[in-house]
C-alpha cells in the first residue's frame, strides 16, 4: 500500500449559462421524441455561449477557493487537467491564471492531459509532489468545452456537455484520516484509435487538412470501447482494491467518469455495486470529459453523500485506451 497523506480541502464547479434539454436537441437534430433518453439517458446538458474553457475554469477555481476560505495567493501550484485544451499554445492552466487576474503571481501553472482520466491522473501525480513537500496547496482544475463533435454521429454527439470543476489539494495533518490508499493507471494501446481526433497535433500539417473538417471531428467506436472496458474493468478494480487492502464492500461511494449512463450501469453490474453507492450525474450534466469525475465528486460532497473519513473510489476510462482509479479516505 502506497499511502499518501493527502486531503481534498474543497471543491468547486461551474456550468455554462446555456442549458439544453434532450427535447431541444432532438428537435435541432431531427430525431424522434425520446430518442436521446433511450440511447444516452442525458436529459439536460450545458453548452458554452460566451464562456471559454479558461473562463469556466476560473469560475470553478473561485468557487473552490471560497469554499476553503482561501485566496489564490494561498495556492502554490495550478494544474489544468482537461482533455481538450482551449488552444494549442499556451497551456490552458496559464490562461486560467490570467482569468484569475494573477498575471504577475509567478505561481506555476501547467497542464496534465490523459483525456477523460486527466483529473484522476493529475491528482495521483501531484499527490507525490505534495507528499514530498514540493507544493503545499495545489489547485487542480478540469474545464471542458466539447468542441469537434460530429453532429452526424447522433449516438456520440448527444452524450456531451460543457463545464468545469476544481479541487484544492493539500497535505493532511497527522491527526487526520484523509489519505490516498491506492492508485493505478493502466493503458492498453490496442484501443488507441477507438477514440480520436486527428487534427491539431504535429502528425498532420494544417495545410494538409485545410477545408477538411474530418481531421478536427471527434470520432469514437463506441461498441469497441464498450467491449474493451467490459473486458478490462473487473480485474483492474480488483487490483486497485488489493493495493489498498480493501474489498468493494469497504467503499462508501464509487465516483465514476460519466461516460454514459449505459457505461455506468454496465460497470455497476459487473462490479456488483448497489445503485446507491454509485454517484451518477450524467443525466443532468452529460459527459463532461475530464470534468465529469471532479464534478461528480463535488456533487457527492455538497449533497452530503460522502463525509470526512469515508472511503471513496474515483474510477474512469479514457482514450488511449486507458483505465485509472484512486481509492482515498475523504
Residues assigned a catalytic role = 116, 257, 287
Q: Which ranges in the chain belong to alpha helices (H)?
A: 22-29, 35-39, 53-68, 92-99, 118-131, 154-157, 222-244, 261-271, 282-285, 292-302
What's the rounded Cα separation, in Å, for the pair 20 and 226?
A: 26
> Are the CB atoms for 261 and 284 separated by under 8 Å?
no
DSSP SS3 for 88? coil
The alpha carbon of 311 is separated from its chain's Cα centroid by a whole number of angstroms, namely 19
Which residue's entry shows cell 437534430?
29
Main-chain phi, psi angles of 277, to 5 degrees: -100, 10
Quote helix, strand, coil % in the chain, to nearest 5: 40, 25, 35
Which residue's entry shows cell 494544417?
206
> Are the CB atoms for 164 and 143 separated by under 8 Å?
yes
> Are the CB atoms for 144 and 82 separated by under 8 Å?
yes
What's the rounded Cα separation, in Å, for the pair 78 and 168?
A: 9
Main-chain phi, psi angles of 220, to 5 degrees: -145, 130
What's the rounded Cα separation, in Å, for the pair 311 and 109?
A: 30
Neighbours of 315 (CB within 10 A): 25
What's the rounded Cα separation, in Å, for the pair 3 and 314?
A: 16
ω before 321 within 30° of 0 (cis)?
yes
What's the rounded Cα separation, in Å, for the pair 224 and 247?
A: 29
Amino acid at each position: 500500500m502506497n499511502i499518501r497523506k493527502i486531503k481534498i480541502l474543497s471543491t468547486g464547479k461551474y456550468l455554462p449559462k446555456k442549458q439544453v434539454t434532450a427535447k431541444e436537441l432532438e428537435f435541432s437534430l431531427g430525431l424522434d421524441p425520446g430518442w436521446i433518453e433511450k440511447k444516452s439517458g442525458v436529459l439536460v446538458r450545458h453548452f458554452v455561449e460566451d464562456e471559454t474553457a479558461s473562463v469556466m475554469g476560473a469560475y470553478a477555481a473561485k468557487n473552490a477557493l471560497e469554499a476553503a476560505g482561501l485566496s489564490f495567493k494561498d495556492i502554490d501550484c495550478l494544474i489544468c487537467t482537461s482533455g481538450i485544451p482551449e488552444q494549442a499554445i499556451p497551456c490552458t492552466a496559464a490562461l486560467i491564471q490570467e482569468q484569475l487576474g494573477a498575471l504577475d503571481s509567478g505561481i506555476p501553472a501547467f497542464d496534465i492531459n490523459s483525456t477523460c482520466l486527466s483529473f484522476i491522473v493529475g491528482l495521483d501525480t501531484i499527490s507525490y509532489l505534495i507528499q514530498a513537500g514540493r507544493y503545499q496547496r495545489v489547485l487542480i482544475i478540469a474545464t471542458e468545452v466539447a468542441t469537434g463533435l460530429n453532429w452526424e454521429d447522433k449516438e456520440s454527439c448527444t452524450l456531451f456537455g460543457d463545464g468545469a470543476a476544481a479541487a484544492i489539494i493539500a497535505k493532511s495533518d497527522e491527526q487526520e484520516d484523509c489519505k490516498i490508499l491506492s492508485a493505478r493507471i493502466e493503458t492498453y494501446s490496442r484501443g488507441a484509435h477507438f477514440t480520436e481526433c486527428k487534427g491539431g497535433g504535429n502528425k498532420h500539417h494544417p495545410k494538409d487538412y485545410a477545408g477538411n473538417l474530418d481531421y478536427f471531428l471527434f470520432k469514437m467506436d463506441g461498441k469497441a470501447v464498450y467491449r474493451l472496458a467490459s473486458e478490462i474493468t473487473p480485474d483492474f478494480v480488483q487490483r486497485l482494491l488489493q493495493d489498498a487492502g480493501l474489498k468493494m464492500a469497504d467503499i462508501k461511494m464509487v465516483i465514476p467518469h460519466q461516460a454514459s449512463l449505459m457505461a455506468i450501469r454496465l460497470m455497476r453490474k459487473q462490479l456488483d455495486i448497489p445503485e446507491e453507492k454509485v454517484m451518477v450525474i450524467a443525466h443532468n450534466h452529460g459527459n463532461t470529459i475530464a470534468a465529469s469525475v471532479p464534478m461528480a465528486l463535488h456533487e457527492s460532497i455538497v449533497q452530503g453523500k460522502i463525509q470526512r473519513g469515508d472511503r471513496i473510489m474515483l474510477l474512469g476510462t479514457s482514450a488511449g485506451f486507458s483505465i485509472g482509479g484512486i481509492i482515498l479516505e475523504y
